Amino acid sequence: MFVCSIKAGKKKWVIVALAVILVAITVFLAFGKWNAAAESGNAKGYSCLASSNDERVAFLAQFGWQVETEPLEIRDVAIPDPFDEVYTQYNTLQKQQGFDLEPLAGKVCRQWVYEVTNYPAETPVHANLLVFEDRVVGGDICSTELDGFMLPFDALGSGNAGTASSAVSSALPESAVSSGAPVSSQAPVSSEGAPVSSSEIPANAWPTD
């Protein structure tokens, strides 16, 4: 039988070396997961690249939405911190489609609004993208008519197109989903980009369609 003995000093360095290797492996795996998440964009694996107009249009196309290639409007949107009731309800819709606006509380996103051309009904419909650091971080598909609707991006493929998201729509002011408002279903902000905390949200307090 062979007996292997290691001096205390050498044993210490072996333990340190193993610890360093374990840390390196952990960092490598974490980076790999982060990189994969960054590539897919969100928890459901959608590609969320949005650094160019082509990428934003392609983002919508992966859900089956066809839009006019030129956006109707572009504006900055301040995500409030803390969330008010409307933002909390709006974020419910975001979580349904693999997004979460809570980590962006207090930050400014850019909103891109596109006209949808293949909605299966004769009603004006807009696609609203919230973009942060060149990636889509949220948004919705909405009608601009009175008593309109708000849907997640994947509503077309799931067969829910034309059906309002009750969890969110019930919490939104009527002006937020009417043709009289410059926006119909997005997260509320003032026209200057400041967050809105009042429960009575004026028409010009929403990201514009």
pLDDT digit string (tens) for the chain, length 209 residues: 555 554 556 667 767 667 667 656 654 544 444 444 444 456 778 899 999 999 999 999 999 999 999 999 999 999 999 999 999 999 999 999 999 999 999 999 999 999 999 998 888 999 999 999 999 999 999 998 888 899 999 998 665 554 444 334 443 333 333 322 223 334 444 333 333 332 232 333 344 43
Longest dimension (CA), the chain: 89
Handedness of CA 28, 31, 32, 33 (dihedral sign): positive
Please tell me whether residues 87 and 16 are part of one structural domain: no
- What the block records as the tokens of 133 is 């650091």
Expressed as residue numbers, the domain containing 34 is: 8-40
DSSP state of 80: P
Write down the pLDDT at residue 16: 66
Phi, psi of 75 (to 5 degrees): -155, 160
Phi, psi of 11 (to 5 degrees): -60, -40
Please tell me whether residues 76 and 153 are part of one structural domain: yes
Please tell me whether residues 109 and 28 are part of one structural domain: no
Q: How far apart are CA 56 and CA 36, in angstroms?
A: 19
Contact at 8 Å (CB) between 165 and 93? yes
Let me know if residue 45 belongs to a domain.
no
Looking at residue 121, its amino acid is A
Write down the pLDDT at residue 36: 44
Please tell me whether residues 36 and 60 are part of one structural domain: no
Please tell me whether residues 99 and 196 are part of one structural domain: yes
Please tell me whether residues 36 and 62 are part of one structural domain: no
Write down the pLDDT at residue 171: 37
Q: Give the number of other Cβ atoms within 10 Å of residue 12's Cβ.
A: 11
Please tell me whether residues 35 and 66 are part of one structural domain: no
Cis geometry, peptide bond prior to residue 103 (ω within 30 degrees of 0) = no
Q: Are strands 150-151 and 73-78 parallel, antiparallel or unpaired?
A: unpaired
Write down the pLDDT at residue 169: 42
Please tell me whether residues 22 and 67 are part of one structural domain: no
Whole-angstrom CA distances from 75 to 32, 109, 161 are 34, 9, 26
Contact at 8 Å (CB) between 81 and 49? no
Q: How many domains does the chain contain in total?
A: 2
Please tell me whether residues 59 and 140 are part of one structural domain: yes
Write down the pLDDT at residue 123: 87
